[in-house]
Amino acid sequence: MHEQNTWLHIGLGSFHRAHQAWYLHRLIAAGDTRWHIAAGNIRNDAENVVQALIAQKGRYVLETASPAGEREYEEITSLQKLIPWQADLQPLIAEGARPQTKVIAFTVTEGGYYLNTSHKLDVKNPDLAGDLQGASNTIYGVIARILEARMANGAGPLTLLNCDNVRHNGERFHDGLVEFLHLTHRQTVIDWLHVNATCPNTMVDRITPRPAADLPARIKAQTGIDDRAPVMGETFIQWVIEDNFRDARPALETVGVELVASVIPYEEAKIRILNASHSCIAWAGTLIGQRYIHESTLTDFIYRIADRYVTEDVIPSLGDNGIDLPLYRDVVLKRFTNPYIQDTNQRVAADGFSKIPAMIAPTLRECYQRGARPEATAMLPALFFVFMQQWHLGKLPYVYQDGILDAAAVHAMFDAADPVAVYAGDKALFGDLSERADFVALLREKIATVNTLIG
Ligand code: NAD
């Protein structure tokens, strides 16, 4: 019997179990049993799920649903070691320090990296400040202790794999970790890290909502299994990883993972085509009183705004980057029509103040650079303007969540003599475009169009 390699996953949420665990399960199902997953949490926020999984020997059912309503059920077998939470995280750290652990992957949410807009650690954050004083409540504190233990044990090199939705996620985590190690005076660990670990960038994709309340009953009816920890997701799945593993890795390419030299083109296509149009649909849908993404995507005028934005402005901006962008657009928009996912406009509409500069302004800028008027893209910030106007008036049907919302500034903008000029002139949102007279004029025109469309 060969000794199995361990893939340690930190952040045992729904997404890990619908995504990475599915790929490793496909390998096992195909007879490749060289790898298994061990998994646990830094936060004590899902012990009921961990305990249910322990009782089920790590097995659980994944339900996938296509836009056409085809549902499939698969029992996932890759999660073979569950690490119950304990305050000092010793079992999780010990697992990471074993020589058999060759990959440590993590999904700790976008906020779990504590990075400010300059990609530096937000050292004032209480969790991070605690870790800088020696606690282990963040991914940095935990990985630092794992690396120290590996150095002490001679456990050998490994790969640290960020699987969160963060642009350049491997680099951002690497830089955050090095800054953390520097601030905690661990120069020898930094030296060790540079020789013994890599942090490849990854692009992960599968819409995975929180498991619905009636999911266990559907699974029981379809499979006969009484599952206390099932998950659900859409049928679509994608995982692109930079093939820069420091030591052994599973044969992921045999189960559909794309191992590439650079994830940047994939990431850029996803951010501009998937994430930006998703938000645009959510803002527009909210403005006409709809609750779910699928109903908004299926609304003609909203679909046309998203489709024109991608077709007329994004695809020419991205150029020939090796990806079939028209196909990608069609697949993405089709995925949004999936009624079984029940994704809400509220969830997707969130964080507009970060999304405009990161996901939308680059396309506006590139259109101007090639001498084109970004007619189609300007509809997105126009929708967000009208959306925020409704927020200002207290007319949104839900609480708008935005990590960097400056409420006083937004109210002041709508109370100003010319709110559109204040909005278009906001450097944090639009950068150098905020100085262009033709950009204010364009936004004015598109805001009028939005107001006509929503009646
Ligand atoms: P979830 O709520 O089910 O799980 C969140 C996990 O993150 C839990 O394990 C929790 O303990 C951990 N966590 C949260 N904050 C943390 C922190 N500050 N430090 C350490 N651990 C922390 O959510 P999910 O659906 O599993 O999504 C997790 C992440 O996966 C997302 O934030 C995103 O980056 C990525 N992702 C999710 C989807 C999706 O559709 N759900 C799609 C693509 C990528």
pLDDT digits (tens, 9 = 90+) for 231-285: 999 999 999 999 999 999 999 999 999 999 999 999 999 999 999 999 999 999 9
CB-based contacts of 346, cutoff 8 Å, min separation 6: 282, 286, 291, 398, 399, 400, 401
The reported pTM is 0.92
| Protein residue whose Cα sits closest to atom 37 of ligand 1 | 15
pLDDT digits (tens, 9 = 90+) for 428-449: 999 999 999 999 999 999 999 9
Pocket test for ligand 1, best of 8, 9, 14, 15 (most atoms within 8 A of CB): 15
Q: Is the CB of 444 under 6 A from ligand 1?
A: no
Which pLDDT value is given to residue 10? 98
**For residues 25-53, average pLDDT:** 97
Which pLDDT value is given to residue 268? 95
Q: How far is the CA of 108 from the centre of ligand 1 (A)?
A: 5
Sequential DSSP letters for 159-190 = EEEE-SS-TTHHHHHHHHHHHHHHHTT-HHHH
Ligand 1 atom closest to Cα of 111? 18
Q: How far is the CA of 138 from the centre of ligand 1 (A)?
A: 13
Q: How far is the CA of 13 from the centre of ligand 1 (A)?
A: 6
Q: Is the CB of 204 under 6 A from ligand 1?
A: yes
| Protein residue whose Cα sits closest to atom 34 of ligand 1 | 164
3-state secondary structure of 245: coil
pLDDT digits (tens, 9 = 90+) for 145-198: 999 999 999 999 999 999 998 999 999 999 999 999 999 999 999 999 999 999
Ligand 1 atom closest to Cα of 46? 11
pLDDT digits (tens, 9 = 90+) for 92-149: 999 999 999 999 999 999 889 999 878 999 999 999 999 999 999 999 999 999 999 9
Q: Are 59 and 215 in contact (CB under 8 A)?
A: no
Tokens linked to 38: 């061990």
Ligand 1 atom closest to Cα of 11? 9
How many CB atoms sit inside 10 A of residue 163's CB? 23
Q: Is the CB of 107 under 6 A from ligand 1?
A: yes
| Protein residue whose Cα sits closest to atom 41 of ligand 1 | 208
Q: Is the CB of 164 under 6 A from ligand 1?
A: yes
Q: Is the CB of 43 under 6 A from ligand 1?
A: yes
Distance CA 81, CA 63 (A): 22
Q: Are 107 and 15 in contact (CB under 8 A)?
A: yes
Q: How far is the CA of 7 from the centre of ligand 1 (A)?
A: 18
Q: How far is the CA of 316 from the centre of ligand 1 (A)?
A: 33
Q: How far is the CA of 222 from the centre of ligand 1 (A)?
A: 28
DSSP code of residue 44: S
Ligand 1 atom closest to Cα of 206? 42
**For residues 205-223, average pLDDT:** 94
Ligand 1 atom closest to Cα of 45? 11
Q: How far is the CA of 16 from the centre of ligand 1 (A)?
A: 8
Distance CA 256, CA 401 (A): 35
Ligand 1 atom closest to Cα of 109? 32
Residue 2 confidence class, pLDDT cut points 50, 70, 90: low
Q: Is the CB of 343 under 6 A from ligand 1?
A: no
pLDDT digits (tens, 9 = 90+) for 335-376: 999 999 889 999 999 999 989 998 999 999 999 999 999 999
Distance CA 249, CA 272 (A): 30
Q: How far is the CA of 105 from the centre of ligand 1 (A)?
A: 12
Which pLDDT value is given to residue 413? 98
Ligand 1 atom closest to Cα of 17? 26
Ligand 1 atom closest to Cα of 233? 40
What does the angle CA 299 – CA 301 – CA 306 come to, to the nearest 5 degrees?
95
Q: Is the CB of 253 under 6 A from ligand 1?
A: no
Phi, psi of 407 (to 5 degrees): -55, -45
Q: How far is the CA of 315 from the centre of ligand 1 (A)?
A: 30
pLDDT averaged over the chain? Answer: 96
Distance CA 356, CA 429 (A): 6
**For residues 369-390, average pLDDT:** 98
| Protein residue whose Cα sits closest to atom 18 of ligand 1 | 112
Whether pLDDT at 1 is above 70: no
Which pLDDT value is given to residue 403? 82
Tokens linked to 97: 């320090």
Which pLDDT value is given to residue 118? 85
With a cut of 0.85, is the ipTM above it? yes
Residue 404 confidence class, pLDDT cut points 50, 70, 90: confident
Which pLDDT value is given to residue 130? 97
Q: Are 42 and 127 in contact (CB under 8 A)?
A: no
- Burial label, 309 (beta-carbon count in 10 A; 0-12, 13-18, 19+): buried
- Burial label, 214 (beta-carbon count in 10 A; 0-12, 13-18, 19+): exposed
pLDDT digits (tens, 9 = 90+) for 133-144: 999 999 999 999
Distance CA 146, CA 134 (A): 13
Q: Is the CB of 374 under 6 A from ligand 1?
A: no
Which pLDDT value is given to residue 3? 74
